[in-house]
């Protein structure tokens, strides 16, 4: 039973430590750059995330431009949706 509990703790810690940009993750921050099929977002901790996108990306909340606060959602390693945070 102790081994099972320890294994569960390891699995839970790995799940909670999923990196930003992992599938299903939401990344919120300031959109600092849009270029060559990549969005660069600086989160509140100051870390920059550079994530690819394509023509299929869904856009919500208005015009997407540098200097606005956004949330990115990732699927299959690419941004699937970008939403303006108000």
Give 10-residue mean pLDDT values along the chain (86 residues): 46 38 81 97 97 96 97 95 96
According to DSSP, the residues that pair with 39 across neighbouring strands are 34, 51
In the chain, alpha helices (H): 2-16
Whether this model's pTM surpasses 0.85: no
Q: pLDDT at position 49, please?
A: 96
CATH topology of domain 20-84: OB fold (Dihydrolipoamide Acetyltransferase, E2P) (2.40.50)
- In a 13 Å sphere around the CA of 70, the CA atoms on its Cβ side amount to 27
């Amino acid at each position: 039973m102790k081994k099972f509990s320890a294994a569960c703790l390891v699995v839970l810690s790995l799940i909670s430590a999923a990196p930003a940009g992992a599938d299903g993750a939401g990344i919120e921050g300031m959109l600092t750059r849009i270029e060559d099929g990549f969005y660069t977002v600086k989160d509140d901790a100051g870390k920059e995330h550079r994530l690819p996108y394509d023509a299929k990306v869904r856009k919500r909340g208005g015009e997407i431009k540098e200097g606005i606060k956004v949330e990115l959602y990732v699927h299959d390693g690419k941004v699937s949706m970008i939403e303006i945070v108000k």
